[in-house]
Amino acid sequence: MGPDPSWMFDFAGTVLPIFFVVMIGIVALSAGRGLLAWSRNNRMPVLTVPARIVSRRSEIRQNSTEEGSAARTTMIYYLTFEFENGERAEFKVSGSEYGISAERDQGWLTYQGTRYRGFKREPHFSVAGQR
């Protein structure tokens, strides 16, 4: 006689349903957190405040679907702003916005919750070289 074949039914009847429930729970939790953040941002007022850029950073994310296939690389850009009261906030921005921004730029930051809306720079002139 061979091994008892009933273990397969125990596995399919017990472990697989638990696995699927856990996976569905993880997906639902992730979607719920994203929806909650979106909803919270929509309830917040749109604010325009004086601020200056104190830091810039970029992040490289690389996604590969299968071994041997081409990896997809994504660049994500962030700017950190400092408000007049000394508080700081970091926002994800587009590559073009990141490219035209420099540390110590001053202007008016528009944001809604954690959602970046824009930054209007105030022109400033260098005094280096003037005597």
Whether the Cβ atoms of residue 128 and residue 110 lie closer than 8 Å to each other: no
Extract the tokens encoding 53: 């850029």
Q: Any bridge partners for residue 119, and if so which?
A: 109
pTM confidence score: 0.69
Q: What is the mean pLDDT of residues 21-26?
A: 92
Q: What is the pLDDT of residue 8?
A: 58
Q: What is the pLDDT of residue 24?
A: 93
Quote the CA–CA distance of 28 and 124 in Å, as a whole number.
49
Say yes or no to pLDDT of 2 above 80.
no
Specify the DSSP class assigned to residue 44.
S
pLDDT in tens, 65-113: 667 667 788 999 999 999 999 999 999 999 999 999 999 999 999 999 9
Q: What is the pLDDT of residue 15?
A: 77
Reported as a pLDDT band with limits 50, 70 and 90, residue 37 is confident
